[in-house]
Structure 1
Amino acid sequence: MNANCSAMLALASSSPLKLSIVYNLIIACIGFPLFFWASIRLWSGTFTKIFHKNFRLIIQMHLLGFMIHCFGRVMLHSLDLYNYHFRDPCDMIPDIYRCFVFRLMYNSGMWITTCTAVSLIIERMIATYLRGQYENQYIWIGILLMFLTPAIASFPLYLAYSNLKFDGVFMPYCSVYKPGHPEIANLNSGVAIGAQIVARIMFGYLFHLNKKLREKMQRSSLSTRFQLEQNKNSTQCLKIYANISTIFLILQIGSFTYLLKVAPGIPKEHYLALMELNCQFPLYGVITVLLVTKRISSVRNHISSTLTSQFNLDRKETYFANFNQQIGAVKPLTKKY
């Protein structure tokens, strides 16, 4: 048995690697239908229609990133498990083009979800600046920002895949980053963590700004008040997303960078098992969707009660204004009489 076959046999015989793959396969299989359901509810659910279409377009790209990641992960892990259990070690060597396609989906989805924060910050800033005239308008901004997310994600992907070779390469396991060479991973990781921290700060700032504007504009038009209320509550939901994302990325990227450094000193199959176990993007997505969905439900109830009270206030003001006009018209007649 040659060296390549021996390397594949070591992977196929590793219980930690197979357990790690099975665990991630289960989470990805749970995550994909959940993200698909969230996409449907994003456009058809009553509680999501309070948000601007541009906001929902960007969130849709975020969910699409999770679905792309989960699909690529399901395909990779399913093929690996099948090969490890049913094929000869010399026949289970992954095809480099298969690795490229499915690992690109794996990493593309991961980076799209990470880069969504940039588009969300821009969109919410525009919504705050154009309050009063943003409702149901400027859809082209949402479309542009939606495609800005994968455009930004293409930069770290280019860095990761720039040195990839297809000819004469033996790749026992589909991966991108090379153990012992964490330079590109460190650069991408630093940018990702920095973006999430900035997003958390900006979402907090926009929340308090819209809250103050909402308090100052009690007598503005109903459309303006609705837009400010929507801005305030959407950024409150985004703070949850930014908090989870920042914590997850700091933990995930920190441990990933450490794994790349110590990988040369541990067995290959143990390194791969830890690497897959470390990349918990499907689980992170599942937790985010559940928490944000819960928050949106409470936001819906709050906005409904707020708009009802404002509507009643407008009706009362109109009634008393008409009543005062009638009183003013009756007084001269009374004096004349």
Structure 2
Amino acid sequence: SGFSFAHSKDANALKDQIHDLDFSNRFPHADSYDTAIHTIDGAGALFELEQGCGSLCLEQCTLLNHREGIFRSRNIMFLGVIKSEACKKELVQFFDTVLPLPQSPRDSAKLTGVFHVDETEADIFQASMLQNLFLLEWIRETTIDNFLEKHPDIIARAFGATQVKFNLELDWVEHDGRVKEKSIKPDVMIQREDGYYDIADLKLALLDKTSLTTSKRDRRRFIVSVGDGLAQLANYAHYFTFEKNRQHAKEKYGIDVINPKKTLIVGHAENLDHNEALEALRAYDSKYAVVDYDTLISKFLQKDRSKPR
């Protein structure tokens, strides 16, 4: 409990950082724990559960990995691992150890995985929870969506919004006759300072992609999955070009949408190059934007807290 684990070479790479990417800004929780344990010649996984290992418990720990220029830092509130063939007695002993009960009415039971922090640290740990999600290879878009809906302050503060609404289902009341679907359901509607709403859509970090753009500078474009996300945003914006649809949205959810900005949240700091994204966006109007999850978190942590949230 209360440790930062890393291999020495990974910790040294941390000090060197990654070109112009400030590691401490990307993973602010990396310095949350005062005690660090660094292996001398270690490589690969930080822990190996060998034959005979019964259980492992980590609480309030950070794990740092680095390989071929890719950094990963996990902030763990609580992690309990026990062998699959454990018997009932071993399970009871494990939980009695990690989840101790009070010995008398005067004692207070420890709330495992829960601890008190000040406001600044609370933001950092909230950001680390989102990073732990989008940096998982098997995660689903709906999981990230649900997390942000439960923590709307991340989107609100990052975009300077006065209000944020998630997953609003809007019927096609009016259209040009070519629309086949019955409704749209934008991931996020973001209220601007002037009261009107912008549109944002959430995609995965696409960890299997080294870059979200392709081709040389003069023909730069986004990969197919990102292009699909931008096309989806265009469809949402098209919905609001019809007066009856705008009126329906206003009556049902109290949102007013005129000439919205359209933001796709996708990728991470290592596969979305800001300059290349700007080159690929030349094919779209100025109301489109592509933001990676690391930038979203950075904006959330740096935004002036005195502004409306």
* Same topology, TM > 0.5: no
* Higher-RCO chain (CA-CA 8 Å, sequence separation at least 6): 1
Normalised to the residue count of structure 1, the TM-score between the two structures is 0.30
Normalised to the residue count of structure 2, the TM-score between the two structures is 0.32
Bigger strand share? 2
Structure whose alpha-carbon radius of gyration is higher: 1
Bigger helix share? 1
